[in-house]
C-alpha cells in the first residue's frame, strides 16, 4: 500500500502554526475532504466538532471555507467530544464527520480526524484518496453550488440523552458519590449532565477550559488531582476523561488508578458470566499480560491488535466481536458506540458495579497485573529508528532473555515523535532495569 504523507494512526496531527496545522492547510484539506467524503451519502453534508483548544476556532473556520468551496454543506456542532461527533454523524445521516482535536496532547498541538457516514474511522483507501486530492490545484465550485453552513444548537442535549440511553433502565446512580475530571476538554458540559441526571452526587474538576489548559495536569493522562479529590471528598470512585472524551481511566475509593485493561476485564467477566459477551476480547500489543491470562482462565478468547483504537475496531469487526480496547482507556463496545467513548465506557463499568453490588476496587483486584515499565524516547524519525538493525537486535535479545516470564515491545508512537519502550515481566525491578537499559541505548541511536 502507498505510504501516507499526512495521515497517522489517528488522523492528521501536529504543532499549531508549523507543518500541516495551519489555516492554509486546513483550507485545502477541507476542500479535499469535501470532494472525497461529500458523496458518501446523498446529503453531501459534513459535521464539524472540536475540543476546547484555542486553535480550534482557526481550524474550524478554515475547514468550513474549504468544504464550502467544494460544494459540501456544513453542520457546526461546537465543542463536542470525538465519540459525540461520531454518533451525531450517524444520527444526522451526514456524509462524514470531522473532529478538530489532538486528544490527550497539550494545547499547542491540534489535529483533524474524520469519520465516515457510519461514524467509523476512515479506511486507508479514503485517507489516500483525500491525500491525492490535496495534491491537486485548489478550485472552487460556481457560486450557486457553494456549500452552506448551519449551527446545530441542541447537539449537546441530543448526545446527553443518547449516553443516558446506554445505561440500563432498571438501574440508577442515586447514592453514588463520584469525582469527575473532564480534562478541561470537550466533555466539560456533557459529562456532568449525564452523571447528574442519572442520579450521581458529583464533585467536578477540570471543567473550566480557557483554550490553553486542556489536559494540563488533569484528565486521564494526569490523574493525580483526581486521586486527591477522591480521597478528600470520600468519593466511591473517580472518573478521568481525556481532552476529546474518547478515553477513560477510573480511580477506586483508596485513590488507586484503574486502567483500561482492568476496566475491560471486569466488564468482560461480568458479561461472560451473564452470557451476554459476544465472542472474545480484543486488546493491543500494549495490553497487560495479566488481562490475557485472566481472560484465558475464564475461557474468554483474547487477541491482540496493533496499537490504536482503529486497529482494535478492525479486529473486532473481523471477528464479529464487540468488546475491546487499550490500557490507555480507549474502550470499545460496538453494541453501544462505533468508537471509544469515555462517558459510555464509564457508564458500562458503573452498571457492573450496580448489578453486582461490589466496589470498583474489589472487581479490579480480580485481574492481577504484570509489572510493566514504559519509557518514551524522543526521536525525530521514530518509524525509521525502530527499523535500525541495532534496535531489532536489542529487542530480540531482550525477549530471549525474558523467555516466558515477560516480553519487550519497542514501537514508534503514532501520534507523537517518540519511540515507546515497554518491558513487562513478573518482577517489577527487572522491568524497570531492563527498560532503562534499552531506552538509554535507543536514545544514543536517536542522537
Supply the residues annotated as catalytic. 103
Helix (H, G, I), strand (E, B), or coil: what is residue 29?
helix
Give which of 271, 224, 233 is closest to 251, Cα–Cα. 224
Inter-residue contact 119 to 44 (CB < 8 Å): no
Q: Residue 444 belongs to what H/E stretch?
A: helix 428-446
Q: Rounded distance, CA 317 to CA 134, Å?
A: 30
In DSSP terms, which residues pair with 150 in a beta bridge?
A: 75
**Angstrom distance (rounded) from CA 419 to CA 442:** 8
Give the strands of the sheet with 177-181, arranged side by side: 201-205, 177-181, 237-241, 248-251, 257-258
| All three cell numbers of 111 | 489535529
Reading the block at residue 217, the C-alpha cell is 495536569
> How many Cβ atoms are within 10 Å of 392's Cβ, its own excluded?
12
Give the three cell numbers for residue 202: 458529583
Per DSSP, helices labelled H in 121-273 are 124-134, 155-165, 190-197, 224-233, 260-273
CA separation for the pair 47, 60 (Å, rounded): 11
Give the separation between CA 293 and CA 295, rounded to whole angstroms: 6
**Which of the 8 DSSP states describes residue 41?**
S
Contact 270, 281 (CB under 8 A): no
- Asked whether 191 and 215 are in contact (CB, 8 A), the reply is no
Largest CA distance in the chain: 68
Taking the C-alpha atoms of residue 284 and residue 27, their distance in angstroms, rounded to an integer, is: 35
**Cα–chain center distance at 90:** 19
The answer to whether residues 350 and 363 touch, using CB atoms and an 8 Å cutoff, is: no
- The whole-angstrom separation of Cα 227 and Cα 34 is 44
Rounded Cα–Cα distance for residues 277 and 365 (Å): 21
CA distance to 99, 125, 129, 138, per residue, from 134 (Å): 18, 14, 9, 8
Amino acid at each position: 500500500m502507498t505510504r501516507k504523507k499526512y495521515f497517522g494512526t489517528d488522523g492528521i496531527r501536529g504543532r499549531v502554526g508549523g507543518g500541516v496545522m495551519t489555516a492554509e492547510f486546513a483550507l485545502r484539506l477541507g476542500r479535499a475532504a469535501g470532494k472525497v467524503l461529500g458523496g458518501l451519502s446523498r446529503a453531501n453534508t459534513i459535521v464539524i466538532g472540536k475540543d476546547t483548544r484555542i486553535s480550534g476556532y482557526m481550524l474550524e473556520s478554515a475547514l468550513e471555507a474549504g468544504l464550502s468551496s467544494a460544494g459540501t454543506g456544513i453542520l457546526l456542532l461546537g465543542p463536542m467530544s470525538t465519540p459525540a461527533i461520531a454518533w451525531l454523524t450517524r444520527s444526522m445521516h451526514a456524509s462524514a464527520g470531522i473532529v478538530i482535536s489532538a486528544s490527550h496532547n497539550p494545547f499547542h498541538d491540534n489535529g483533524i480526524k474524520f469519520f465516515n457516514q457510519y461514524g467509523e474511522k476512515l479506511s486507508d483507501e479514503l485517507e489516500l484518496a483525500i491525500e491525492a486530492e490535496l495534491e491537486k490545484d485548489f478550485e472552487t465550485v460556481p457560486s450557486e453550488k457553494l456549500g452552506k453552513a448551519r449551527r446545530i444548537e441542541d447537539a449537546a442535549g441530543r448526545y446527553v440523552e443518547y449516553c443516558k440511553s446506554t445505561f440500563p433502565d432498571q438501574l440508577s446512580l442515586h447514592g453514588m458519590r463520584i469525582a469527575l475530571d473532564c480534562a478541561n476538554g470537550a466533555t466539560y458540559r456533557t459529562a456532568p449532565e449525564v452523571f447528574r441526571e442519572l442520579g450521581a452526587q458529583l464533585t467536578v474538576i477540570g471543567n473550566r477550559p480557557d483554550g490553553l489548559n486542556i489536559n494540563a495536569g488533569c484528565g486521564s493522562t494526569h490523574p493525580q488531582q483526581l486521586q486527591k479529590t477522591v480521597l478528600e471528598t470520600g468519593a466511591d470512585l473517580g472518573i478521568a476523561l481525556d481532552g476529546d472524551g474518547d478515553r477513560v481511566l477510573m480511580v477506586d475509593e483508596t485513590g488507586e488508578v484503574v486502567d483500561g485493561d482492568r476496566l475491560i476485564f471486569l466488564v468482560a467477566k461480568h458479561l461472560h458470566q451473564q452470557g451476554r459477551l459476544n465472542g472474545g476480547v480484543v486488546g493491543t500489543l500494549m495490553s497487560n499480560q495479566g488481562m490475557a491470562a485472566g481472560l484465558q482462565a475464564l475461557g474468554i478468547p483474547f487477541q491482540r491488535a496493533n496499537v490504536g483504537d482503529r486497529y482494535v475496531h478492525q479486529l473486532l469487526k473481523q471477528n464479529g466481536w464487540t468488546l475491546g480496547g487499550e490500557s490507555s482507556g480507549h474502550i470499545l463496545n460496538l453494541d453501544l458506540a462505533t468508537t471509544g467513548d469515555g462517558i459510555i465506557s464509564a457508564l458500562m463499568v458503573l452498571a457492573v458495579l450496580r448489578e453486582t453490588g461490589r466496589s470498583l476496587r474489589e472487581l479490579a483486584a480480580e485481574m492481577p497485573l504484570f509489572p510493566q515499565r514504559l519509557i518514551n524516547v524522543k526521536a525525530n524519525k521514530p518509524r525509521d529508528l525502530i527499523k535500525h538493525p541495532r534496535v531489532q537486535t536489542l529487542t530480540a535479545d531482550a525477549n530471549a532473555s525474558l523467555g516466558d516470564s515477560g516480553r519487550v515491545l519497542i514501537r514508534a508512537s503514532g501520534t507523537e515523535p517518540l519511540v515507546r519502550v515497554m518491558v513487562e515481566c513478573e518482577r517489577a525491578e527487572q522491568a524497570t532495569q531492563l527498560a532503562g537499559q534499552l531506552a538509554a541505548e535507543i536514545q544514543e541511536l536517536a542522537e
